[in-house]
Structure 1
Amino acid sequence: MLRADAERLAVWGDPIAHSRSPQLHAAAYAILGLPWTYERRRVSEAEFAEALADPSETWRGLSLTMPLKHVAAEAATTLDRAARLSGAANTLVPGEEGPRGFNTDVAGLVAAIREQGIEDAGRARILGAGATATSALLALEALGAREIDIRARRPEQARPLVALGGQLGLRVTAAPLDAPHTRSSPGADPALTIATLPGDAEPAASVLEEIVVPGGLLVDVVYGTWPTPLARAWESAGGRAVSGLPMLLHQAVRQVRIFTSGDVDEPLPSESDVIASMRRALMED
Structure 2
Amino acid sequence: MMISGKTKVYGILANPVEHSLSPAMHNFWSKQTNKDMVYVPLKVEPGQVKEAVKGAWAMNLGGMNVTVPYKQQVMEHLSQIDEDALAIGAVNTLVPAETGYKGYNTDAKGLLRAIKEKNIEIQGKRWVLLGAGGAAKAAGYILMKEGAKQLFILNRSVEKGEALAKELKQIFGKGEVKAMALSQWRELPEDRYSCIQSTSVGMFPDKDHSPIEDSEFFKRIDKAIDIIYTPAETKFMRLVKEAGGAAYNGLDMLIYQGVIAYELWHPDIKLTMEQVKGAKALLTSMLEGKL
TM-score, normalization by structure 1: 0.87
- Following the alignment from structure 2 to structure 1, what is the Cα–Cα distance between the partners of residues 281 and 185? 42
Counterpart residue number, 1:35: 36
Counterpart residue number, 1:170: 175
Shift of 1:45: 3.7
Q: Which moved more, 1:113-122 or 1:133-142?
A: 113-122
Counterpart residue number, 1:59: 61
Residues 134 and 6 of structure 1, relative CA distance in 2, 3 Å threshold: farther
- Following the alignment from structure 1 to structure 2, what is the Cα–Cα distance between the partners of residues 84 and 11? 20
Counterpart residue number, 1:279: 280
Counterpart residue number, 1:49: 50
Bigger RCO (CA 8 Å, 6+ sep): 1
Residues 175 and 42 of structure 1, relative CA distance in 2, 3 Å threshold: same
Counterpart residue number, 1:196: 198
Counterpart residue number, 1:228: 234
State whether structure 2 residue 102 is matched by structure 1 residue 100: yes
Query: RMSD across aligned C-alpha pairs, in angstroms?
Result: 2.2
State whether structure 2 residue 196 is matched by structure 1 residue 154: no
Residues 284 and 203 of structure 1, relative CA distance in 2, 3 Å threshold: closer
Counterpart residue number, 1:179: 184
Q: Which moved more, 1:50-59 or 1:160-169?
A: 50-59
Counterpart residue number, 2:120: 118
Shift of 1:81: 2.2
The alignment partner of 1:181 has SS state of: helix
Counterpart residue number, 1:127: 130
1:117-167, Cα deviation, whole Å (9 max, x unpaired): 123341101000111001001221243212100000001012332122212
Residues 281 and 177 of structure 1, relative CA distance in 2, 3 Å threshold: same
- Following the alignment from structure 1 to structure 2, what is the Cα–Cα distance between the partners of residues 184 and 196? 21
Q: Which moved more, 1:123-132 or 1:77-86?
A: 77-86
- Following the alignment from structure 1 to structure 2, what is the Cα–Cα distance between the partners of residues 47 and 213? 47
Counterpart residue number, 1:143: 146
State whether structure 2 residue 91 is matched by structure 1 residue 89: yes
Contact conserved, 2:225 with 2:249, CA < 8 A, in 1?
Answer: yes
Residues 90 and 204 of structure 1, relative CA distance in 2, 3 Å threshold: closer
Counterpart residue number, 1:20: 21
Counterpart residue number, 2:260: 254
Structure 2 runs not aligned, ≥5 long: 1-5, 287-291
Residues 181 and 112 of structure 1, relative CA distance in 2, 3 Å threshold: same
Q: Among 229, 244, 250, which residue is 1:244 paired with?
A: 250
- Following the alignment from structure 2 to structure 1, what is the Cα–Cα distance between the partners of residues 34 and 235? 41
Structure 1 runs not aligned, ≥5 long: none
Shift of 1:220: 0.4
1:1-29, Cα deviation, whole Å (9 max, x unpaired): xxxx8700001111212211111111211
Shift of 1:270: 5.2
Corresponding letter in the other structure for 1:100: K
1:64-90, Cα deviation, whole Å (9 max, x unpaired): 111010012222222112211111000
Identity %: 27
Corresponding letter in the other structure for 2:242: S
- Following the alignment from structure 1 to structure 2, what is the Cα–Cα distance between the partners of residues 76 and 118? 35
Contact conserved, 1:214 with 1:234, CA < 8 A, in 2?
Answer: no
